Structures are given as structure tokens and as C-alpha cells.
Copies of this chain bind each other. A is one copy, B any other.
């Protein structure tokens, strides 16, 4: 498909303008635009501009609250609860990770739950913020039904990413940000929008048959990694992000693209802690860890052993030097949103 090149700073201004037109205040529009552009730069296009139209539609329908009254409740020196008042997820998550960082800096460990939030983009984006403050983080979020619990023929769990980030003492941080599905739902969604096929063995259609048709997969069930093991990990994330935080769980998070009947009420959980709680030389220890693993003998066709986050970092570095390439479909979205009469 033909692509269009857009300059980053011009694109950012345009997104901010669009978000403000739909009612977000300036700071919230900037936070959201930065997150979307970051997703493009790390190559996670399914979490980038392809979602802009959806966010704007939800704001227009007031199921994302453009003027939220976000409250932070102190539970203890280490623990806080953010009631996001149905804000756009980026803003809720930005407030929460910053609060979790402050709590961890004060007490060694921070735990911040968020309720009444929405889709916040990439978990790894928030892990990065913690890493810049030299903290380890564990991040969990809810998501709309996509994966079937082991034994069930209907999807209920989200792709429920497990995210773990740590400083490495190297330029490139270690950020594991992995869904428990065989592939990310965003990738299937993008394939459906751009009429591409998905790999075998990652999804079933609504009749329970294997499919490589992205549109059929979206109506069917995604498969978890390691069968009942992945299903158990998804269940854990559903409990941590939903049951525990006071947010939607058990399949009740609405699909942001398909269901405009109300807010998503997604929950997030951010746990952050200092690297030097138990050792003085954490950076040297993790550098040694990474070096040792990278030196292992490799299997055929593998030149380098990469740690989680390296690929994304490399893509970010490469893409940051260039204009952002977007499909004609998305360019059209931008024009429509720019000309949208509220």
C-alpha cells in the first residue's frame, strides 16, 4: 500500500490540534499525541495513528471524558489509587506512573492502581519513564475480550500484556512488553484494515476453526501462548488490573472500536521499585547478565541474541531520524478529523 511521509513535529501539532478540537485540554492533548507518535516510532503501528479516529469518536460521544476530574487517593506512603474519571487512557497512565515513581523514590517501592481509565497504548512506554528514574517496573492493564480461557470456546480475557522493565546500565533498557496471546490483537486489527493475512495457529474463527483471515479472527478467538499456562497468566492479569483495582474484568471491558455504549472502565496496575534495594552494584550485575547471555552459542540463522526491548529501541532510533510514513487510509483519517464539525 502506498505511504505518505509526514514530518514528526508537524504531525504532532496536527494531532494536538485534533485532540483539542475534540475537547481535550492542551496538556492532555500533548500527552496523548506524544504517546501515539512514540508508538509509530517504535514500529507499533497498531498502537499509533491507526487508533486516532477511534479515540476522537469516543471523545465526541463523551464515553472518553474530555474534561475529567482525576483524583489521586493516598493509601500509604507507597500506595496510591487514581480514579481517572473516564479520561483518555494516556493521561491516566501518565499520572499513575509518575505517582508510582515518586512513591518508589520515597519508600523504595511504589504501587499505583488506576480505575475508570481506557486504552493507554503501549505498557512499555510507561516502563521507559520508570527506567529513566532508575527504577524497575511491573505493569498490568486490562483489555477487551480477545483470548479464550483454557477450555472455553468464547473469548473473554484481553491480550493482557505482562510488562517488566529495568535499567541495564547500557544505552538500551530491558523492556519486556508481551501479550499472552500468540500475536497482538493490534496486529490482527491492522492486518484486517490493510487486507493482509495473519500467521497460522494464532487464532480461530467464530466456529472454532483455525483461520488466517484477520477479519474472521477478530470475530473469533485468539489463542494464548502455552495453552493453559498462557490462559493462567491472562487470568492473573485480569485479576490484578480489574478485580483488584476496582475496574472492569471478566470480559466486561468494551472493545474501543466496536462498542460505543459506554466508557471502558479499564484498570491498570503500576508497581515500581529501586534497583539497589538488596545489592549495591545492580547495573554491573545486569550488564554481566546480559553479556553472558549474548555470548551463548546461537542456533542457525540467528546472528545476535537480543534482549526484550532492543528491537524496539533500534527501530525508534532509526525512525526518529526520518519522517513518519503513514498509509493513505490514515492520512485520510487525519483530514476527516481536521475537518470534523462538532
Chain A interface (Cβ < 8 Å from any Cβ of B) = 75-79, 81, 107-109, 111, 113, 115, 136, 148-154, 156, 162, 164, 166, 174, 176, 178-180, 182, 208, 225-226, 229-230, 232-233, 235-236, 238-240, 242-246, 249-251, 271, 273, 275, 277-279, 282, 285-286, 288-289, 292-293, 296-299, 302, 304-308
A78, A239, A279, A304: most-surrounded residue (chain B CB, <10 A): A239
Contact between B113 and A278, CB atoms less than 8 A apart: yes
Q: Name the B residues within 8 Å of A109 (CB-CB).
A: 76, 78-79, 109, 111
User: Roughly how many angstroms separate A245 CA and B241 CA in the complex, as a whole number?
Assistant: 26
Contact between B232 and A113, CB atoms less than 8 A apart: no
Contact between A249 and B289, CB atoms less than 8 A apart: yes
Q: Name the B residues within 8 Å of A232 (CB-CB).
A: 176, 178, 308
Taking a contact as CB atoms closer than 8 A, the residue among B108, B115, B277, B306 that contacts A151 in the complex is B306
Task: Indicate whether A302 sits within 8 Å of B151 (C-beta atoms), given known contacts A226-B182, A235-B176, A236-B164.
Answer: yes
Contact between B153 and A298, CB atoms less than 8 A apart: yes
Q: Name the B residues within 8 Å of A76 (CB-CB).
A: 107-109
Task: Indicate whether A229 sits within 8 Å of B225 (C-beta atoms), given known contacts A108-B79, A149-B293, A153-B297.
Answer: yes
Contact between B149 and A278, CB atoms less than 8 A apart: no
Q: Name the B residues within 8 Å of A288 (CB-CB).
A: 250
Q: Name the B residues within 8 Å of A302 (CB-CB).
A: 151-152
Q: Name the B residues within 8 Å of A305 (CB-CB).
A: 149-152
Task: Indicate whether A289 sits within 8 Å of B250 (C-beta atoms), given known contacts A115-B278, A297-B154.
Answer: yes
User: Roughly how many angstroms separate A107 CA and B111 CA in the complex, as a whole number?
Assistant: 12
Task: Indicate whether A285 sits within 8 Å of B249 (C-beta atoms), given known contacts A79-B108, A79-B277, A296-B156.
Answer: yes
Task: Indicate whether A153 sits within 8 Å of B239 (C-beta atoms), given known contacts A176-B232, A178-B229.
Answer: no
